[in-house]
Each structure stands twice: as structure tokens, then as C-alpha cells.
Amino acid sequence: MLKPELIPYHYVSLDINHWYVAIKKGWVPIAEAMKEKVEKEFENMEENDDVAVYIQLLKLRHELMLSYLHPDSVTNIEKAYKNAKQAKENVAESNLTDLIEFYFNFFTGMYHFRTRDLVDALTYYRIAEKHLDLLEDQAEANKAEFYFKVSEVYYYMKETYFSMNYAKRAYAIFDRQDKVDEKPTYGKQKVQCQFVIFGNWLDKMCYEEALDTANKSLTDAKEIDEKHLIGSAHFNVGLCYNQLEELDKAEYHFQRSYDIHKQQGHIYESKALFNLAYVKAKQNDLKVATALYKEGNVVAKRHENQEIIEKLKLIKGLYLSYDLNILRETFKFFKKKSLYGDMEEYAVAVAEFLTNKEKRHEAVEFYQMAIEARRQIQRGKHLHEI
């Protein structure tokens, strides 16, 4: 029996590129179909190390996409990461192109961001950026995607200047591309950039700018009718009102966010639940706060969202049972994961709560945690300037 003729790798590369476009756009059915097509073509493709590694990298990127859109159906991220890493290690470093080096470090950074290992994520992003500068034919939209992902990790590390800079660069490219294309297709990406810009305004305590940005992103999300983005935009408006201590308005938007994300079964429903429970606890509605706390734990465990599981301990330890040892567990988690922004914010909140209860000795411990977190953030800024 004759063997089938080998498929030239450049033909498969075209389908790989279509697959990547579908991933970036979040077009799950198309991405799934292209993934299956590429895998079948690869079985009969002429040997090419770059394509072999690239396919494994896109499998990782594919799983990362699914982990955000359909978190309860995803179990293969760790396996995909190991396979991508092994595929790269099987090829001599001198034979790897800048394109492969860029995507390996970019997607590995995304993987570590997904697991909230922020320092590792940033390390790989910075390596990826060096290769990005060497890619003369790199599409503007790909650069924008990279800038956006970098802005996310800087945001979580509370590196406001860097985060805002990258988010605005990404937004400008997406907006420029929409004006060039006959049919605008980057509305979703522009809203996501607005989310990061909003978060940075909030961190800078520029509440008027933050609320304006949050409301604009809500309007834009409704215009493109993206349910997940609408839910996330409501969440951001709620965060702003929470900071302004307008708790009734905050509760309304957190509830809207939760309703939307619950309907979709999205991982963000656990974030909305935590914040809703936190607001109800601050309103001293402990009966409702207790019910939301219990529901939040169930939802967070279902999504395997360790960050929210730990944050829920803040509500239990401070409002429901008053156990500072439970609170300390959360701050150990923040420190381990380099979540110094959260560490500072919640340490100050806990310290102020304890001070108001005239437990000043206990408050000092948490003020010291906030100071330590601020020092780590400042130290990080100096490191990034090297």
C-alpha cells in the first residue's frame, strides 16, 4: 500500500495561522475545528521542527483560551504546558527562530499569569519582548495582544505606570486597526484594555477618571453584546463605588455582575460573590454575608479559584468569626504569590477595622504588613528599571 504524499509544511502553516486568529478572537467552535484539522494534517506533514513546536505552543494557548471562557470544562492546561516545554527542549536552541522563542516565552508567561505566579510571568514576558523587537514582520494586532497581556501582569503587581503605558499602547493599536479594517473586529480587545486602564486609575485613587472609564467600558461592552464583558464592566463599576463607600451602588453592580457570570458559569462569578459578600459584611448585614460567604466557597472550589478561596477568609476572619489566624493565612498567600497590591489594600482595610474596634495592638501588625507590601512594590519598580 502506497504511503500518502507528505503535506508541505507551509500549507499547514496557513491553517495554523487561522487557528491562532480564532483563538485570539475567542471563536471557540472555529478554534476547535482548526485545531482538529491541524492535528490531522500534522500526521502527514513533512518534517519541520519549528512547526512541530509551534503546534504544541498553540495547544497551550488554546487551553488558556478555554480556561477563561469555559473554566469548568478545562483540565489540560498543565499537560499542554509540559508538552510545549518538552517540544522546545527537543530542538537544538540554535535551530529555533525568533518567532518560536517569542511565542514560547509569551505563552509561558500567560501560563504563569493564569496560575498567579506573577514574577515568573513577568520574567517570561520580558524575554518575549526582546524577541518581539526582532520580528520585522510581526503583525500590529499581535503586538497589541502582547502589550495587553504585559499590562495585565503589571496591573496585578500594582506597577501602575508600566501597566497603564502598555494598556494604552495596546488600545491605540487595536483602535487604529479597527479604523483601517472595513469591519471593526477589535471591540472586545479595546474593552479589555479599558478594564486595565480603569484598574490603574482606581489604584491611583483617581476616582472620577476610574468611574468614567468603567462606565464607558460598560457602554462599549453592551454595544458589542459580549455578556462576559458586560458582567466584568458591572464588576468594575462596583469596585469604584465600593472605594467611594457608596455601598448600595456597589452592591447593585456586583449583583448584576454575579447574575451574568453565574448564567455563563464563568470563573468570575466567584470574584463577584466575594465582593458582594464583602460589601454586605461592611453594611453589617451578616446574615446575607454569611450565606454569600458559604456560596462563594462552593463556587470558588468548583472553579479551583484559590485566590478567591483565600480572600473569602478575610470575611470569615474579620466579620463572621473574628479569628486573626484565619486572616493571617490569606496574607501568607498574598505574599507567596507576590500579590503585594492586594496585600497592601486588604492589610490597610483590616487595620482600619481593628482600629475602629479599639484593637490597636492587633491593628499595628496589619499596618506593618501594608508597609511591607508597599516596600515590595517600590522595590519591584527599581528592579524593572534595570
Contact (CB, 8 A) for 371 and 152 = no
Note the pLDDT of residue 384.
45
Cα–Cα distance for residue pair 83/96, rounded to 1 Å: 17
pLDDT at 137: 56
> At 376, is the secondary structure helix, strand, or coil?
helix
Is the pLDDT confidence value at 123 over 50? yes
| CA 6 and chain centroid, separation | 40
One-letter amino acid identity for 27? Answer: W
Instruction: DSSP for 22-61, please give it.
Output: HHHHT-HHHHHHHHHHHHHHHHTBPP-HHHHHHHHHHHHH
pLDDT of residue 132: 84
Angle CA 166–349–287, to nearest 5 = 115
Q: Which of these ranges, 28-32, 138-142, 224-228, 293-297, has the smallest mean pLDDT? A: 138-142
The cell numbers describing 214, all together, are 468603567
SS3 208: helix
Q: What is the pLDDT of residue 75?
A: 61
pLDDT tens per residue across span 52-99: 888 999 999 999 988 876 654 456 788 899 998 998 888 877 777 888
pTM assigned to the model: 0.80
Averaged over 25-45, what is the pLDDT? 89
Inform me whether the pLDDT recorded for 125 exceeds 90.
yes
For the stretch 276-289, pLDDT in tens is 999 999 999 999 99
pLDDT recorded at residue 76? 78
Give percent of the chain with pLDDT exceeding 90: 60
C-beta of residue 175 within 8 angstroms of C-beta of residue 190 = yes
The pLDDT of residue 382 is: 40
Orientation of helix 49-69 relative to helix 28-43, angle to 10° = 160
Phi, psi at 226, each rounded to 5° = -100, 105
Q: Averaged over 176-205, what is the pLDDT?
A: 88
The answer on pLDDT for 122 being more than 50 is yes
pLDDT of residue 380: 62
- Long-range Cβ contact pairs of 16-23 (< 8 A, separation 24 or more): 16/51, 16/54, 16/55, 16/58, 19/58, 19/62, 20/58, 20/61, 23/58, 23/61, 23/62, 23/65
pLDDT of residue 252: 97
Which cell goes with 383?
528592579
Cα separation of 29 and 24, whole Å? 13
Provide the pLDDT for residue 71.
54
What is the set of domains in the chain, with CATH numbers?
A: 9-136 (1.25.40.10), 139-225 (1.25.40.10), 323-386 (no CATH)
* pLDDT for the residue numbered 136: 63
pLDDT at 130 over 60: yes
Please state the rounded mean pLDDT for residues 317-325. Answer: 93
Q: Is the pLDDT of residue 2 over 50?
A: no
Write the pLDDT tens digit of every residue in 334-385: 999 888 889 999 999 999 999 999 999 999 999 999 999 999 887 765 444 3
Is the pLDDT reported for residue 386 higher than 70?
A: no
Instruction: State mean pLDDT over 261-271.
Output: 88
Q: What is the mean pLDDT of the chain?
A: 88
